[in-house]
Structure formats: C-alpha cells, structure tokens
Amino acid sequence: MGAWNEARRERRRRRKRFEEILGWIVAPPLLIGVWLAGTYLYTAFEEPIGQVIQAVQTILNKYH
C-alpha cells in the first residue's frame, strides 16, 4: 500500500460525495421540468384534438 493509495481512496470518496450532493440538487428541478413539459404537451394537444373530433362528429351528424 502507500500514501498514494490512501490519497486515491480519499479522492474517490470525495468524488462520490460530490456526485451525491449534485444529484440531490439537479434531480428535483429536472423531474419538475419533465413533469411540466408533459403537462404542457398534454394540455396543448388534448384540447384542440378534442375540438377537432367534436367538429367532425357534428359535421357527420348534420349530414347523415
């Protein structure tokens, strides 16, 4: 063994700790952003499609 091995182990321990903290900081805003994007896409495309389907049904009912 040696001092270099201990230093290497300490660097690895610090890096893992840093990655853990970074994950706790980055993950929540990322998840919230994905959720908001999904909500936006759902509302942006659900309403117009529903209105188009309703308009087509109205036209079909009117002429049949």
Q: What is the DSSP letter of 1?
A: -
C-alpha 43: how far from its chain's center? Answer: 16
Question: What pLDDT, on the 0 to 100 scale, is given for residue 28?
Answer: 95
Q: What is the pLDDT of residues 14-57, one digit of tens each?
A: 999 999 999 999 999 999 999 999 888 888 777 677 787 888 89
Overall residue count recorded for the chain in this entry: 64
Nearest-angstrom CA–CA distance, 17 and 9: 12
- Res 63 pLDDT > 70: yes
Question: Quick one: pLDDT band at residue 1, thresholds 50, 70, 90?
Answer: low
pTM, whole model, 2 decimals? 0.54
Distance, CA of 33 to CA of 45 (rounded, Å): 18
